[in-house]
């Protein structure tokens, strides 16, 4: 296959009638936007593996796995209640709150500004979205998602079982 160029065939170009733009440095600079508001998703600052182990001093259990890349990612700005259990491959983002004796199971995600109540359970592969609230003694099941700003309250029947 032979490639023929206009120059080789004698075909004329536009003769400059449409003008020519030479590209160089950008003529326009874009200043950073400062709206004066705090960013809704703060910078991430996750605990290191050693720091996760030290959470046990506060009564927080962090599960480990011999498999690679299974360490939980817990942001330093998240509030964790005592007696909480955190599974492997979990993400707990900043400004989220986990109550006392709560359980966040393997491969789950608790997003920015989400709340999980006391003695609540977040099942495996579950997601608690931004602004969502899980009530005390409530449960989010396997592969479930609690939508943004949704609320799940403790059920009266479950409270009765707890009292017995």
User: pLDDT tens digit string along 54-86?
Assistant: 999 999 999 988 888 888 999 999 999 999 999
| Residue 26 domain flag | no
74 belongs to a structural domain: yes
Under the banding of pLDDT at 50, 70 and 90, the label for residue 89 is very high
In a domain, 75, yes or no: yes
> Is 38 a residue whose pLDDT tops 80?
no
* Domain at 59, CATH number: 2.160.10.10
CA 71, distance to chain mean position in Å, is 15
158 in a domain, yes or no? no
**Mean pLDDT score of the chain, rounded to an integer?**
82
In a domain, 95, yes or no: yes
The domain containing residue 71 runs over which residues? Answer: 49-152
pLDDT of residue 113: 92
Q: Which residues are 120's β-sheet partners?
A: none
Number of domains in the chain: 1
């Amino acid at each position: 296959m032979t490639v023929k160029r206009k120059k080789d065939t004698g075909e004329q170009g536009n003769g400059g009638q449409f003008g020519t733009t030479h590209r160089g440095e950008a003529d326009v600079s874009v200043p950073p936007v400062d709206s004066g508001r705090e960013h809704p998703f703060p910078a991430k600052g996750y605990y290191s593996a050693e720091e996760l182990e030290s959470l046990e001093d506060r009564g927080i259990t962090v599960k480990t796995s011999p498999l690679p890349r299974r360490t939980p990612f817990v942001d330093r700005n998240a509030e964790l209640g005592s007696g909480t259990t955190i599974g492997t491959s979990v993400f707990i983002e900043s400004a989220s709150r986990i109550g006392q004796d709560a359980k966040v199971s393997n491969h789950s995600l608790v997003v920015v500004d989400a709340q999980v109540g006391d003695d609540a359970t977040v099942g495996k592969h579950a997601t608690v979205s931004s602004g969502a609230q899980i009530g005390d003694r409530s449960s989010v099941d396997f592969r479930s998602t609690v939508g943004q700003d949704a609320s799940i309250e403790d059920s009266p029947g479950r409270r009765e079982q707890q009292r017995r």
